[in-house]
Amino acid sequence: MKKEKTIRELIHELQKDVKIVASARFNKVTRLKRQSQLALIAISFLSFTLIIASIATELYHISAIKIPSTKYEMSIWFFSILSSIFILAISIFISKNQYDLQISRLYASAVQINKIVRDLELIEIYTDDKLEMEYQKKLNEYNHILDSDHINHDTIDYYTVKPLKYRCEKIKVFCKKTVYFFHNIVVYYSLILIVSILVLLSLTSQIITTTSHYN
């Protein structure tokens, strides 16, 4: 027959669950801030590169972007069209995801849940009768916070903050994080940023070369 859990065991379990959920939500806030900042940097660099490309075409009559260490070139007009499509796509994605709203609501929720963690630590000194009443109160408060806002953390946030005991669990989480990394929009923002920097360097090099020929 399964042994019934004591009120103190139930409190420890709730405390553990609440702590993980609060940490997971704080983790997602950090991730969303990173995504938002990287998206802004990627759009800024791509826009700046488009401006330099226009200057290179109009003032220095450069019509193609030379790809370093190769014989390949990309026409500036094609790069401009491609960049404009990417800027539009990123802008729509940012607008649809509403980063600021998600960050604000998740952070507020995480702070409230974190307060319950501290409250559960304080009530451990109570007698069992009073403890049971406080446990039910905090459980209801916790459920109310979860039900009142449906913006939630992701599975990857849960696995990031969850304490792991066994090697097999660590391997499983590592695999999940790897899969998530390659499906993450941050990777694409990073690629756009890298491409923008490479194109910028190529155009700058061509402008310097063209200017030196004129002199």
When mean pLDDT is compared across 2-6, 53-57, 168-172, 201-205, the lowest value belongs to: 2-6
User: Among 158, 153, 154, 160, which Cα is nearest to 110's?
Assistant: 153
Of 168, 210, 176, the closest CA to residue 58 belongs to: 210
**Ranges of each domain in the chain:** 7-214
Q: Could you tell me which of 6, 27, 2, 49 has the C-alpha nearest to residue 157?
A: 27
Residue 81, pLDDT above cutoff 70: yes
Containing H/E element for 77?
helix 76-97
Confidence of residue 174 (pLDDT cuts 50, 70, 90): confident
Beta bridge pairs of residue 64 = 75
Which residues are CB-neighbours of 78 under 8 A, at least 6 positions away?
none
Q: What is the pLDDT of residue 182?
A: 67
pLDDT digits (tens, 9 = 90+) for 20-55: 999 999 999 999 998 899 899 999 999 999 999 999
The model's pTM = 0.83
Instruction: Report pLDDT digits (tens) over 182-199.
Output: 667 778 888 899 999 999
Confidence band of 3 (pLDDT split at 50, 70, 90): low
Q: Which two tokens stand for residue 111?
A: 């702070």
Q: What are the structure tokens assigned to 44, written together?
A: 């800024």
Q: What is the dihedral of CA 133, 135, 139, 142, to 10 degrees?
A: 110
pLDDT in tens, 108-127: 999 999 999 999 888 877 77
Task: Name the token pair of 178.
Answer: 């790897």
pLDDT band at residue 151 using 50, 70 and 90 as cut-offs: confident
- Nearest-angstrom CA–CA distance, 190 and 45: 11
SS3 (DSSP) at 200: helix
Residue 54 neighbours by CB distance under 10 Å: 12
Tokens representing residue 55 in the block? 């200057």
- Rounded Cα distance between 143 and 134, Å, is 14
In the three-class reduction of DSSP (H, G, I as helix; E, B as strand; rest coil), residue 87 is classed as: helix
From the list 53, 62, 59, the residue with the least C-alpha distance to 82 is 53
pLDDT tens column, 201-213: 999 988 898 888 7
